[in-house]
Structure 1
Amino acid sequence: MIKNFKWLALASLAFVACNNDDAVVADANSTDGSPVTAGTANFSTYVALGDSFAAGFSDSALFIEGQKSGYPSILSQQFALAGGGVFVNPLMKDNIGGFIVGGVQSTRFGKRLYLAPGNKPTAVDGTSTTDISAKITGSFNNYGIPGAKAIHLDFVGYGSALGNPYFTRMASSAGATVVSDALARNPTFFSLWIGGNDVLGYATNGGVPTSQDAVNGDDITPPATFDFVYKSMVTKLVAGGRKGVIANLPYVNTLPYFTTVPYNPLTVSVLGGGSDAVGLATITALNTQLYGPLVSALTAFGAPTRIKLLSLTAANPLLIKDESLTNLSAQLTAAFTPSLGAATAAAYGAIFGQARQATAADFVTLPSQSAIGAAPTALDSGIGVVPSSPLNKFGITYPMQDKHVLTATEVLEVKVATDAYNVTIAAAAAANGLALVDTKSIMDLLNTTGIVADGFTMKSTYVTGNSFSLDGVHPSPRGYALIANKFLEVINSKFGSNIKGVNLGDYRILYPKSL
């Protein structure tokens, strides 16, 4: 009924990852051409605290060149023009990224991606030389820890063998916290951008709950918990009148990870494997054999909007499972038993009891593009067995599962939490005289009109928008440069400094295969 279904969102990309590979030299001029001054700030010892964004994570990995191009590194170079001192990153061992465990590349902490021929994000060759159990010593200024939530930055044990390996490798002791190690540097200025991971893990899992485990849990952090730990952390950071800059949070579902794969990719051409004639015949067969009977049954049970017949002219939405819907499995089983038999009807009931077609309010995750049209397995079918033909095409004849899609209900949960976190962050900035970067508004612009700077239009479009790397979550080098400039804008405004910032043209869009 349906030919092999292959669809790749990157197929239409025509992109050249070009840029200046020379070292970026800081411009000694200020915003108005006068000598650079720090204003009322003191940049002599700057520390950065945060998560993977502060670390310089990019293309699904942490690696040397990425760390050097992160926004804290760029800020430190600009601060140096106004009296800032040396800024030390806890560098990884190579530009492959990830960790090795017992000499073998970790699957959890994998290698960085590059754009291979055919516009395919691909892991680089080789094996990391960064051993997950190896400690590094010294004084560091960058305490951006990939994977960290707000609670983690002041969590005792986060630097232990059972904690986060990115912090464990650099922690002064197993009992140290990120905050305590950062403060041990006696900083004169700090940046803090944290909270994205407090909702991101839940969202990238497609809204599948895990746990509130302090180290490995991926559920949404309760706003009350975030409020308590964030305010406590900021109180420690500003002690003695220390100045700094903090940032609020965009909605994570606006990241390319969630916006690249359309909710309605099922055109006549796609369903026909490039042939309109085959696609038209496929749609007719689907409407007769599957969609029509489902529409009739669901209408009879008071759920007529869940599924509609496939269109012969418009792009059709994916079939998805929505656990927020009333489960109509028993009703569908009863309705289909006379025509299909008890066993087959029960399977239909189990599969389609909470099925519906996706809408523009749902977000298909970037990795799930490879699942569209693929055959469910016993592990990912949601019913514990392999469904037989014709119910063996994810998104077409079988609902995409919870992990594949962030539904409208789950998006609302993310937004409610993010809004609460941003209230906390804004209050902390106001109460402590801190500069505040409105990254939510910045992301809103990247998603709409774009931001024009240095002759470039920065947008959130996957890869071609200049701003994001191949993992769809973390910025590209040019994206990090934009972030650094936005940090500098609010620092200048709050503290009277006049640091010009960097030219975005000096930062590449994507990293090549070899560095």
Structure 2
Amino acid sequence: MKKIIISTLAISALLFTTSCEDDFDQDVNDVVVTSGEANFSRYVALGNSLTSGYRDGALYSEGQNESYPSIIAQQMKLAGGGDFKQPLMPNNTGGFNNLPGFPGKLTLKVVNGSLTPVAGTPGGALDNVASGRPYQNMGVPGAKSFHLVAPGYGSLAGLATGTANPYFVRFASSATTSVLVDAISQVPTFFSLWIGNNDVLSYATNGGTNSQTVGGVTTYTAATVQPDTASPATYRSNDISNPNIVAGSIKAVLDGLKGAGVTKGVIANIPDVTNIPFFTRVPYNAIPLDAAKAQALNTQLYGPLKAVLTAYGQGSRINPVVAGNNPVLIIDNKLADLSAQLTAALAANGYTPTQAAFIGNAFGRARQAKQGELMLLTSSSLLGLDATTNQPATPSSLFIYGASFPIGDQYSLTADEVNNISTAVTAYNTSIRSMADSYGLAFVDMNKKMVELNSKSGITYNGVKYTATFVSGGTFSLDGVHLTGRGYAIVANEFIKSINAKYRSNLPQVDANKYSGVNFP
């Protein structure tokens, strides 16, 4: 099994890397902190998992305490801000043991000699903390833009039909309320809104597919962009939300707040999700072969396959490989399925019926990945395994996931899928920027900040360099999607800078180095 290896050199770099430039240059000694033209006495934050403090694949109390709204609220207290309560999980593990698909947080463990993120046992059953309302952190993990205005999103009964979210069930005021209604009921004086990430993220993290399990067999079909005429109840879970739906949902949130007299706040756009470690950690040619293995595969597998594919005008799918330059084999469901033709041709050329069917069915829609296409972090659990045994490949293994046997469509993003994501993010962000201007709100360009983090130079706080590199970059947690405490502190500072610029306040930034990063065993 191919493991995610984290070297001691990378760990040292995380702790000691320095740079000449420094994003934290604020000296607040003897400065009187004021709210300027804003009123921070009742600050409410709306959003999804990024707002809630979710990290390491789970929502847990330690992470919530370092959410970016909590960090902002602490700074607002210096300028008359009020209490900021969060619907804290009852443990520091996260997950729900009475709901499928909600494991405990990821932790680094040594597995077969390598440090690997491993999900823990859920910390307990789904609880209800509504009695502690109101909660000012209204971030709901998994929420898409339209979920914020959906009645019944906190209904316990709705969990069975997929119309509710367990994280909102925990603290919703009623079974019929919405996130927006519960936020407005607090009569906030200031708000933050960061939403839209999940409207494209679920498509991306599932490789541009929707899945269905029938009789124990899971099939994958291509996800699409939702039509803007459909009801949210009919949307498939991994479809990209139509940009008109996203814009309309965000507008509904802002109109609802404005109608309640809440006119001052801050709104952020979303990063291009393909720039986060979940999509950048695993290269498109992740399993380099030596010369002997490459030659053997070209002779025994790639040569015969290419000959058959060429006969059907599909020869470009597979090309001979050379040592150190062998792209990962992927399934591309947009390709014509040549399973039957491959099986028949291989059987006619000396392969046994069993061998021919095995290879033909596997390679019917297979091709080599191209530079710029993305392997998901989840693919690391398969790459390098023997496809016939699901055990680590040996020198005699012919069918190796990624090197000589394709990984499923759900483990990669093709060039077309990457373009779909980029197009959607651009459309979402155009609308968010326009609404920030038309509603007179502070605006945070988180997309620009992610580009900066994703660069080689990254950003520096008090001598410590931060990048978007998985684990060693310091900003992203073990799930490759959500941030560490330090990452959330960096986000909080971006919000604070925009709030100060818009409302003439002087909230001090925080030192990101004082917050938690990745915990090593």
Q: Which residues in structure 2 correspond to 1:49-448 (within 5 Å)?
A: 49-101=46-98, 106-117=99-110, 118-124=114-120, 127-129=122-124, 131-137=125-131, 138-161=133-156, 162=158, 163-209=164-210, 214=233, 217-239=237-259, 240=261, 242-268=263-289, 279-312=290-323, 314-333=324-343, 335-340=345-350, 343=353, 344-376=355-387, 392-448=399-455
CA gap of 1:68–1:359, structure 2 versus 1, over 3 A, is: same
Alpha-carbon distance in 2 for matches of 1:43, 1:148: 25
Q: Is the 8 A contact 1:321 1:400 kept in 2?
A: yes
Q: Is the 8 A contact 1:31 1:499 kept in 2?
A: no
Moved more, 211-220 or 161-170: 211-220
Moved more, 342-351 or 398-407: 342-351
Q: Secondary structure at the match of 1:324?
A: coil
- Deviations along 1:90-145, whole A, 9 cap, x unmatched? 111010111232xxxx5511111222244221335x6513x315343121100000
Aligned to 1:382: none
Q: Secondary structure at the match of 1:246?
A: strand
Moved more, 454-463 or 109-118: 109-118
Q: Secondary structure at the match of 2:73?
A: helix
Matched-pair identity in %: 44
What amino acid is aligned across from residue 51 of structure 1 in structure 2? N
CA gap of 1:436–1:10, structure 2 versus 1, over 3 A, is: same
CA gap of 1:393–1:378, structure 2 versus 1, over 3 A, is: closer
1:326 deviates by 3.5
1:216 deviates by 7.5
Alpha-carbon distance in 1 for matches of 2:29, 2:442: 21
- Deviations along 1:48-82, whole A, 9 cap, x unmatched? 00000000001111111100101000000011111
1:152 deviates by 0.5
1:393 deviates by 2.6
Q: Is the 8 A contact 1:324 1:409 kept in 2?
A: no
Alpha-carbon distance in 1 for matches of 2:29, 2:270: 30
| Matching of residue 458 in structure 1 with residue 466 in structure 2 | yes
Alpha-carbon distance in 2 for matches of 1:120, 1:317: 24
What amino acid is aligned across from residue 375 of structure 2 in structure 1? V
Alpha-carbon distance in 2 for matches of 1:505, 1:422: 30
What amino acid is aligned across from residue 134 of structure 1 in structure 2? N
Aligned residues between the structures: 474
1:33 deviates by 5.1
Q: Is the 8 A contact 1:30 1:499 kept in 2?
A: no
1:304 deviates by 3.7
Alpha-carbon distance in 1 for matches of 2:100, 2:340: 41
Alpha-carbon distance in 2 for matches of 1:208, 1:419: 21
Q: Is the 8 A contact 1:18 1:508 kept in 2?
A: no
Alpha-carbon distance in 1 for matches of 2:443, 2:515: 25
Q: Secondary structure at the match of 2:86?
A: coil
What amino acid is aligned across from residue 57 of structure 2 in structure 1? S
What amino acid is aligned across from residue 142 of structure 1 in structure 2? N
Q: Secondary structure at the match of 2:54?
A: coil
TM-score (norm 1): 0.86
Moved more, 303-312 or 176-185: 303-312
1:351 deviates by 2.4
| Matching of residue 487 in structure 1 with residue 495 in structure 2 | yes
CA gap of 1:377–1:347, structure 2 versus 1, over 3 A, is: closer
Alpha-carbon distance in 1 for matches of 2:74, 2:520: 24
Moved more, 233-242 or 220-229: 233-242
What amino acid is aligned across from residue 147 of structure 1 in structure 2? G
CA gap of 1:291–1:168, structure 2 versus 1, over 3 A, is: same
CA gap of 1:221–1:13, structure 2 versus 1, over 3 A, is: farther
Q: Secondary structure at the match of 2:317?
A: coil
Alpha-carbon distance in 2 for matches of 1:328, 1:116: 42
What amino acid is aligned across from residue 79 of structure 2 in structure 1? A
CA gap of 1:37–1:30, structure 2 versus 1, over 3 A, is: farther
TM-score (norm 2): 0.85
Q: Is the 8 A contact 1:50 1:192 kept in 2?
A: yes
Q: Is the 8 A contact 2:4 2:116 kept in 1?
A: no
Moved more, 6-15 or 303-312: 6-15
1:301 deviates by 3.5
Q: Is the 8 A contact 2:386 2:397 kept in 1?
A: no
Aligned to 1:271: none
1:345 deviates by 4.2
Aligned to 1:384: none
What amino acid is aligned across from residue 136 of structure 1 in structure 2? A
Aligned to 1:383: none
Moved more, 279-288 or 339-348: 339-348
Q: Secondary structure at the match of 2:473?
A: coil
Aligned to 1:386: none
Alpha-carbon distance in 2 for matches of 1:127, 1:187: 34
CA gap of 1:511–1:186, structure 2 versus 1, over 3 A, is: farther
1:417 deviates by 1.3
- Deviations along 1:245-290, whole A, 9 cap, x unmatched? 011011111110111011112223xxxxxxxxxx433222111000
Alpha-carbon distance in 1 for matches of 2:205, 2:389: 22
Q: Is the 8 A contact 1:362 1:405 kept in 2?
A: yes
What amino acid is aligned across from residue 409 of structure 1 in structure 2? D
Unaligned runs of 5+ in 2: 17-23, 159-163, 212-222, 227-231, 391-395
What amino acid is aligned across from residue 85 of structure 1 in structure 2? G
Alpha-carbon distance in 2 for matches of 1:454, 1:234: 37
Aligned to 2:20: none
Task: Note the aligned Cα RMSD (angstroms).
Answer: 2.6
